[in-house]
Chain A
Amino acid sequence: LAKTTQPISMDSYEGQEVNITCSHNNIATNDYITWYQQFPSQGPRFIIQGYKTKVTNEVASLFIPADRKSSTLSLPRVSLSDTAVYYCLVGSNNNDMRFGAGTRLTVKP
């Protein structure tokens, strides 16, 4: 099972771009990288998933370098409502993925 390492916490201000990097040095060939967002007292919510290069959706972008040993979640122009915990998961099956400690993002006015 691929282990992930993320910063424990990050602070930002409204309107800024936030980049959260996740390290996964032992990622396997068939593993995908998936990010979830969790607000207090709610279940996690899927944000984005990728295998290589760059993926973009209406919420975020995911940058994955060629060696795939890390990935960066990019949140454009954050607002106060983006304050949450962000989890990076790596695996080839949902049941093999493990939630790590996550990154607690605080967006300030």
Chain B
Amino acid sequence: DAMVIQNPRYQVTQFGKPVTLSCSQTLNHNVMYWYQQKSSQAPKLLFHYYDKDFNNEADTPDNFQSRRPNTSFCFLDIRSPGLGDAAMYLCATSRGRTSGRYNEQFFGPGTRLTVL
């Protein structure tokens, strides 16, 4: 089945130690998104790629960066994780960005990041 895969499902890192989360998709979608979801809160968009075009949200901290080496893979890099970065990180994809039929987002299962 076509899907969005996130690895690892659980990640533990130390305060200040860089960490990379990965996302892959078999849907061949043009757009890939990264969301942060803290406990009992709604998902918050960090940035998205439309093909190779990177789009950062204005309030996303510089500590968060992303790479998309090809259509299938997208990475979230947290350069110096703080305790406040502990959260679920969700990857999503869509065919296109505009709302409307066939452009809904498909989410992966998420990676839960713990910062010690």
24 A–B contacts, CB within 8 A, in A order: A30-B99, A34-B104, A41-B109, A41-B112, A43-B91, A43-B92, A43-B108, A43-B109, A44-B105, A44-B107, A46-B104, A51-B100, A94-B31, A94-B33, A94-B94, A94-B97, A94-B105, A95-B33, A95-B97, A97-B99, A99-B35, A99-B44, A100-B42, A101-B42
Residues of B within 8 A of A42 (CB): 109-110
| B82 in contact (CB, < 8 A) | no
Residues of A within 8 A of B98 (CB): 92-94
Query: In the bound complex, what is the Cα–Cα distance between A80 and B109 (angstroms)?
Result: 21
B42, B88, B103: which contacts A102 (Cβ < 8 A)? B42
Query: In the bound complex, what is the Cα–Cα distance between A45 and B106 (angstroms)?
Result: 7
Determine how close the nearest CB of chain B comes to the CB of A85; give it in whole angstroms: 8
Interface, chain A (partner B; CB < 8 A): 30-32, 34, 36, 41-46, 49, 51, 87, 91-95, 97-102
Contact call B112/A95, Cβ cutoff below 8 A: no
Q: Which residue of B lies closest to A32 (CB)?
A: B99
A34, A36, A87, A102: which contacts B99 (Cβ < 8 A)? A34
Contact call A43/B110, Cβ cutoff below 8 A: yes
Query: In the bound complex, what is the Cα–Cα distance between A10 and B82 (angstroms)?
Result: 35
Interface size class of B (residues with CB under 8 A): 20 to 34
Residues of A within 8 A of B105 (CB): 36, 44, 46, 94
Query: In the bound complex, what is the Cα–Cα distance between A45 and B108 (angstroms)?
Result: 9
Contact call A94/B42, Cβ cutoff below 8 A: no
Contact call A95/B107, Cβ cutoff below 8 A: no
Contact call B92/A95, Cβ cutoff below 8 A: no
Residues of A within 8 A of B33 (CB): 94-95
Residues of B within 8 A of A98 (CB): 42, 45
Instruction: Contacts A42-B110, A94-B33 given; indicate if A49 touches B101 (C-beta within 8 A).
Output: yes
Within 8 A of A (CB), among B70-107: 88, 90-92, 94, 97-101, 103-107
Residues of A within 8 A of B63 (CB): none
